[in-house]
Amino acid sequence: MEREKKDNSRNLYIGIGSNLNNPIHQLNIAIEYLSKIDFSHNMKIASFYESPPMGPLDQNNYINTAVMFSSSESPEDILITLKDIESSMGRKKNSIRWSERTIDLDIILLGDLVYESDSLTIPHMYAHERAFVLFPLLDLNPDIFIPKKGFAKDLVKDCLYRNIKKIENNERFEI
């Protein structure tokens, strides 16, 4: 489990997804934006993964990744920053659940914080059950623990949406 550091900073894990307008390009743009925010020092970037859409099937495959850096920002301030980046990248609101999007930035974990407000749930409510979230997290930290759920390396053995392919070497994962 991660411990809080003395300066109150915690390891922030952000999940990134896209399935519109050249998703790999969109992920790279989002990473560029994230690397420029003033609290994103020493950012680590996971591999990119392709998977079929969770939700309506009449949309393109998704590309997902995650980044991690240390942050002492509040959860709500981090969410505002992520929403700003989504709007700068032209994300449009769609009323259909789990519909296609140019970019989706989710707070997956903030150290071992458990946080719930009207606008935010940390850890991300479904992170523990999605292969397209867990594989990138494991790239960043093989011993990552999801509070109240368990170690990602255990959760991944039994999770949903497991038809996932790592982009660089084109290997399909068999769990």
| Separation between Cα atoms, residue 30 and residue 122, nearest integer Å | 21
Nearer to ligand A4P, 6 or 125 (CB): 125
Tell me the β-bridge partners of 172: 165
Site for Mg ion in 32-61 (CB under 5 A): none
**In sequence order, what are the residues at sequence separation of 6 or more whose Cβ sits closer than 8 angstroms to the Cβ of residue 31?**
16, 43, 45, 65, 67
Alpha carbon separation from 136 to 7, 16, 28, 119 (Å, rounded): 26, 10, 15, 24
CA 159 – CA 130 distance, rounded (Å): 6
Nearer to Mg ion, 104 or 112 (CB): 104
To ligand A4P, the closest distance from the beta carbon of 44 in angstroms equals 19
> From the CB of 167, what's the least distance to ligand A4P, in Å?
13
Q: Which is nearer to ligand A4P, 6 or 121 (CB)?
A: 121
- Catalytic residue ranges: 91, 101, 104, 106
What residue ranges bind ligand A4P (CB under 6 A)? 17, 51, 53-55, 62, 64, 79, 97-98, 104, 106-107, 119-122, 124, 126, 132, 161
